C-alpha cells in the first residue's frame, strides 16, 4: 500500500479508502490509485483486511453431504448468488455427523465470516448455542426444526408428502408404500405425515409394514426394494422421500421381475439429474432450490445490515414433475 500511495502521490489512507470502495474519494484521486495498483500488480491481502474489519466478505455454507445432488445444487446456487453480491463462499460437509458439524461451524466463526447458512445434520444438531455467542448472521436451510430461534428457509415438507399421495390417488391407486429418510430428521417425519394424512382425508391408510426407513442414499433404496419384493407386495404405488432412494428401489424391484409402471408406480423427490436419465424416467416432487438459496442469502444480508426480518420462517411450496414411472393403477 505504501508503494501504491508513493506512485499515485496520495496518502496511504486514500489508498485504503479506494480499496474499500469508499464513496468519499475524489474520482481523479481514485483513478490515480487504480492506475498505480495496476502498474504495480498490487493484490490486497484479504485475510489482513478481514482481521482488521472482522469481516472478510465471506459466507459459509454447511451441508450434511457434499456429494448429494440436492446439496450440490444448494452449493451451486448459493455460490452464484454470493458472487453477484461481491462475497466469496466457503463450503463444508458435515458427513452427517454432529461433531463434524460443530467443528466446521466453529472454524467459520473464528474466521469472522459475514454469515453462515447451514442445513442441520439431524435433530441431534446442537450448534445454535455456539452461534448465539458470536452474534454472526445465521440461517438454517432445508433441514430445520419446527421452532427455530434463527431464520429458516425450507420447502413445505408436509405439502410435499401430500402432493405425492394426491398424485397416486388421482391415478386410482389405493394401496401404498413409502421409503422415508432417517426419522431423526424432522423433515422426513413431516413428509411422511403429509403423505399419510392426505390418504386419511380420502378414507385410505398405509400399512405400517409398508413403511421402510432409509437414509437418503441409493443403497437404502436398493435395500427397501429387496425388502418389499421378499414380502407380500400388497401395494401398487411407492413414494420415496428422495430420488436416490426411489431409483434404488426401482432398480431392485425391476430386478425382482416387476415392471414399472405397469405393475407398480414409483415416485421420488428432489428432481435430481438422474431422475430424467433413468428408464422409465422418474416422477418426482420438486423443491424450489434456487429460490431457497436466494431467500437464505437475503436473510443474511438483512441481518448484516441491521434490518428487521418481517417473516423469519419461510416454507416455500413444492411442485411435481410427472414422468414415465407413474401410471394408472
Q: What pTM was computed for the model? A: 0.82
Res 49: pLDDT = 53
Which cell numbers in the block locate residue 259? 415392471
Q: How far apart are CA 124 and CA 22, in angstroms?
A: 44
- pLDDT by residue (tens digit) across 48-76? 555 454 455 899 999 998 888 999 999 99
Q: State the CATH number of the domain containing residue 278.
A: 3.40.50.2300
Grid cell at residue 273: 439429474
Report yes or no on 323 lying in a domain. Answer: no
Find the domain containing 101 and state its range. Answer: 53-150+290-311
Please report the sign of the dihedral spanned by the C-alpha atoms of residue 314, residue 70, residue 59, residue 22.
negative
Note whether 241 and 134 are same-domain residues.
no
Residue 320 in domain: no
Q: Does the residue 35 lie in any domain?
A: yes
214-245 pLDDT, tens digit per residue, is 999 999 999 999 999 999 899 999 999 999 99
What pLDDT shows up at residue 122?
Answer: 84
Give the pLDDT confidence score for residue 56 in this predicted structure: 56
Closest by alpha carbon to 173, among 59, 52, 329? 329
Q: How many domains does the chain have?
A: 3
Angle at 267 between CA 264 and CA 273, to 5 degrees: 130
C-alpha grid cell, residue 314: 419461510
Please state, rounded to an integer, the average pLDDT across all residues of the chain.
91
Could you give the angle at the alpha carbon of 122 between the alpha carbons of 116 and 126, nearest 5°?
A: 60
The Cα 18–Cα 217 span in angstroms is 50
Tell whether the model's pLDDT for residue 132 goes beyond 80: no
Amino acid at each position: 500500500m505504501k508503494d501504491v500511495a508513493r506512485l499515485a502521490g496520495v496518502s496511504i489512507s486514500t489508498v485504503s479508502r479506494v480499496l474499500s470502495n469508499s464513496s468519499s474519494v475524489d474520482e481523479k484521486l481514485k483513478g490515480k490509485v487504480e492506475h498505480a495498483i495496476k502498474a504495480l500488480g498490487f493484490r490486497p491481502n484479504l485475510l489482513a483486511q478481514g482481521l482488521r474489519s472482522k469481516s472478510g466478505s465471506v459466507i459459509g455454507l454447511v451441508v450434511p453431504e457434499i456429494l448429494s445432488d440436492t446439496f450440490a445444487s444448494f452449493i451451486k446456487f448459493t455460490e452464484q448468488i454470493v458472487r453477484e453480491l461481491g462475497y466469496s463462499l466457503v463450503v463444508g460437509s458435515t458427513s452427517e455427523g454432529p461433531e463434524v458439524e460443530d467443528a466446521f461451524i466453529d472454524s467459520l466463526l473464528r474466521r469472522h465470516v459475514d454469515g453462515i447458512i447451514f442445513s442441520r445434520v439431524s435433530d441431534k444438531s446442537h450448534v445454535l448455542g455456539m452461534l448465539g455467542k458470536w452474534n454472526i448472521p445465521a440461517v438454517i436451510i432445508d433441514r430445520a426444526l419446527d421452532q427455530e430461534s434463527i431464520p429458516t428457509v425450507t420447502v413445505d415438507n408436509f405439502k410435499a408428502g401430500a402432493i405425492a399421495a394426491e398424485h397416486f390417488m388421482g391415478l386410482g391407486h389405493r394401496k401404498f408404500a413409502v421409503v422415508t429418510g432417517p426419522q431423526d430428521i424432522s423433515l422426513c417425519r413431516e413428509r411422511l405425515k403429509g403423505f399419510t394424512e392426505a390418504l386419511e382425508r380420502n378414507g385410505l391408510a398405509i400399512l405400517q409394514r409398508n413403511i421402510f426407513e432409509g437414509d437418503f442414499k441409493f443403497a437404502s433404496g436398493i435395500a427397501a426394494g429387496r425388502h418389499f419384493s421378499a414380502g407380500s407386495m400388497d401395494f401398487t404405488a411407492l413414494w420415496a422421500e428422495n430420488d436416490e432412494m426411489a431409483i434404488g428401489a426401482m432398480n431392485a424391484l425391476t430386478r425382482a421381475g416387476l415392471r414399472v409402471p405397469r405393475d407398480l408406480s414409483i415416485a421420488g423427490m428432489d428432481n435430481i439429474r438422474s431422475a430424467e436419465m433413468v428408464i422409465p424416467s422418474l416422477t418426482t416432487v420438486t423443491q424450489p432450490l434456487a429460490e431457497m438459496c436466494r431467500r437464505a442469502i437475503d436473510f443474511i444480508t438483512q441481518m448484516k445490515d441491521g434490518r428487521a426480518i418481517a417473516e423469519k420462517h419461510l416454507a416455500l411450496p413444492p411442485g411435481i414433475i410427472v414422468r414415465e414411472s407413474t401410471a394408472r393403477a
